[in-house]
Amino acid sequence: MATKQSTEPTLSTRGRTFTGTVVSDKMAKTVTVEWPRRKYVKKYQRYEKRRTRVKAHDELGAKKGDRVEIMETRPLSKTKHFIVTKVL
């Protein structure tokens, strides 16, 4: 089975890089990427599980369930500010 190779992004990238899981690929050239995080709740002195979901521009053809690396870029639309740089 062939794995997808990373290609140099055509858009200029800047800022932070994240690794997450594709949870939706229903839009054209756009995927929704999600990753878990822990937030400290001071009142209860415990952590709670939360998740971050962002939309990313996808030229590499990532499918639902794929682990991807995304990077920040200029705003591409109202909600899209990331691009997929690598399918892991």
**Per-residue pLDDT at 86 exceeds 80:** yes
pTM for this entry: 0.81
pLDDT at position 13 is 82
Whole-number Å distance between alpha carbons of 2 and 30: 22
- pLDDT-derived band at 75 (thresholds 50, 70, 90) equals very high
Q: Which residues contact 86 (CB under 8 A, 6 or more apart)?
A: 6, 60, 68, 69
Domains of the chain, each with CATH number or no CATH: 14-87 (2.40.50.1000)
